[in-house]
Chain A
Amino acid sequence: MSRMALLALQLLVAVVVLVLWQFFATVPVFGKVWLPPFFFSNPVDVGGQIVAWFASGVIWKHLAITLWESILAFVIGSAAGVMVGFWFARKPLVAAVFDPYVKMINALPRVVLAPIFTLWLGLGIWSKVALGVTLVFFIVFFNVYQGVREVSQTLLANGRMLGMSERQLMLHVYWPSALSWMFSSLHTSVGFAVVGAVVGEYLGSAAGLGYLIQQAEGVFDVAGVFAGMVVLSAFVILIDMGVSLVERRLLVWRPTAPEARG
């Protein structure tokens, strides 16, 4: 199927859903409006809200805050994940000692940490960054840990026979291998950075997309909630496209772009 035909079909799905939504929210069928406006709003109102946000410019501030929080969460979480992953993989004793704690923290639904972070770090961006970090860290950590431990023994033997010192093995074999695993989880970890930021905002903040949605919910402004969700989705899709671009550049040596994992 050609790209254009595929795109047309994809658009068709959106159009059908929107038309059905608008229809059942405004036109009575068998004497009854099936999607009462109070609970479901309608696409025209949602669109109007989005246009109003962008026209007045208020949305930019919230987008910028959420973006900034996501970036910080991603960078800090990834850096910590890479370092700890390397450390654990190279020092099996350390990994064995910390293993139950890592599993424990990873099993914990991170949302319950949000109030604690708010308590510790206040209502500003850092409590949201902290929440995002706890999500991103584990994805990157597990992937790097795996990547370092599963370095091909043949590659290591080859490196040694070519005269590499332990430090050079690190640089030329372990590091690229671990990074390739980290990049293969890039979509997941970036997604989680955004989730951390938005959930954090939703639970208590003064700015950001999560805050916007939470405010709308507070006054039963369903159009505002849907508008917030649409903007958030578009935001995530844009970020994901950016990640794909970065990935294509960084993993040129791979036969096909890897699927996200995690």
Chain B
Amino acid sequence: MNEEAPTAVALENATVAFRLGGARLYTAVEKANLSVGAGEFVAIVGPTGCGKSTLLNVAAGLLKLAAGSVRVFDAPLDGLNREAGYLFQLDALFPWKTALDNVAIGPQIAGTPRAEALSLAKDWLAAVGLTHFERRYPYMLSGGQRKRVGLAQVLIRNPKILLMDEPFGPLDAQTRQVMGNLLLDLWNKDRKAVLFVTHDLEEAIALADRVVIMSAGPSARIIGDWRVCLPRPRDIFDTRLDKDFHALHREIWSVLKVEVMKGYTHSSRAAEAG
């Protein structure tokens, strides 16, 4: 649906390698090609340890490529990706700031006057359904509420690209669905380009326009790319019952399953060797 739209993020032959003590190199991702169109919601799914988060960090500019290139809106990426907002897997809220201050920090450091930043932050907290939690510190919030604050913290800066690293991973199953619907509602308003990493195939299909499958690491590659043709706006609870959803899930899972099993045998072999 976004064939003619400009490309928000494009990875071309992206290879990421880490140095393991001494001269040994560990190639995490090899020659990955991936493009996310403006307004497109792309989910990356793969077995644990396949380098999904690594790709995301490359798109964010937090990690440098060993080979290949990253382009953001057709300009080569140099340093941090200023167009992107990043929702981390782990808790990334500043524990010494209240929910309100955590959300207001983005505009504040960009030079918005404090009063204005705070009133904007209030609106965003309301948008993620946390109207009465402004004065709470992160430790006083539940896991789901912290994720909501994190979402507001990122979205208040109005980034053109949204990078999400298993953002709902630590949450319980019900909360994940609720958060997924919240994300879709917010996304529907201005349709940012989204790169969403998850290990949960159902979540990926329910949320995304495209699902990309990565092979097991090391030297993980992108081995599949499916278009999700489910109607929008979606409600995750209903979408999961859809006939097409199940057909697509079966199709993608047949490919993913092989990689998941490979991932397990590889890691158990590594454990024996180590």
Chain A residues in the interface with B (C-beta under 8 A): 152, 154-155, 157-158, 160-165, 168, 172-173, 176-177, 180, 252-255
Assess whether A160 is in contact with B62, with CB atoms less than 8 Å apart.
Answer: yes
Complex Cα distance, B129 from A163, in Å, reads 25
Q: How many residues of B contact A (CB 8 A)?
A: 26
Chain B at the A interface: SS class = loop
Complex Cα distance, B97 from A177, in Å, reads 11
Q: Which residues of A contact B95 (CB under 8 A)?
A: 253-254
Which residue, of A155, A162, A173, A177, has the highest number of chain B Cβ atoms within 10 A?
A: A162
Q: What is the CB-to-nearest-CB distance from B183 to chain A, in angstroms, rounded to a whole number?
A: 18
- B74 in contact (CB, < 8 A): no
Q: Which residues of B contact A177 (CB under 8 A)?
A: 96
Contact of B86 among A157, A172, A180 (CB under 8 A): A157
Q: Which residues of A contact B110 (CB under 8 A)?
A: 163
Q: What is the CB-to-nearest-CB distance from A156 to chain B, in angstroms, rounded to a whole number?
A: 9
- B84 in contact (CB, < 8 A): yes
- 16 A-B Cβ contacts within 8 A? A152-B90, A154-B92, A155-B92, A155-B94, A157-B88, A157-B92, A160-B80, A161-B60, A161-B85, A161-B154, A162-B157, A163-B106, A168-B109, A252-B137, A253-B97, A254-B95
Complex Cα distance, B105 from A158, in Å, reads 11
Assess whether A254 is in contact with B139, with CB atoms less than 8 Å apart.
Answer: yes
Q: Which residues of A contact B69 (CB under 8 A)?
A: none
Q: Which residues of B contact A161 (CB under 8 A)?
A: 60, 62, 80, 84-86, 154
Complex Cα distance, B60 from A89, in Å, reads 26
Number of residue pairs A-B, CB distance < 8 angstroms: 56
Contact of A158 among B92, B96, B98, B138 (CB under 8 A): B92
> 19 other contacts beyond A155-B94, A164-B109, A255-B139, with CB at 8 A cut-off?
A154-B88, A154-B90, A154-B91, A154-B92, A157-B86, A157-B92, A158-B92, A161-B60, A161-B86, A161-B154, A162-B105, A163-B157, A165-B109, A168-B109, A176-B96, A252-B137, A253-B98, A253-B139, A254-B95
- B82 in contact (CB, < 8 A): yes
- B198 in contact (CB, < 8 A): no
Assess whether B62 is in contact with A157, with CB atoms less than 8 Å apart.
Answer: yes
Question: B157-175: contact bitstring with A at CB < 8 Å (1 yes, 0 no)?
Answer: 1000000000000000000
Q: Which residues of A contact B96 (CB under 8 A)?
A: 176-177, 180, 253
Assess whether B84 is in contact with A163, with CB atoms less than 8 Å apart.
Answer: no
Q: What is the CB-to-nearest-CB distance from A169 to chain B, in angstroms, rounded to a whole number?
A: 10
Task: Using A157-B86, A164-B109 as known contacts, say yes or no to A172 and B94 having CB atoms under 8 A apart.
Answer: yes
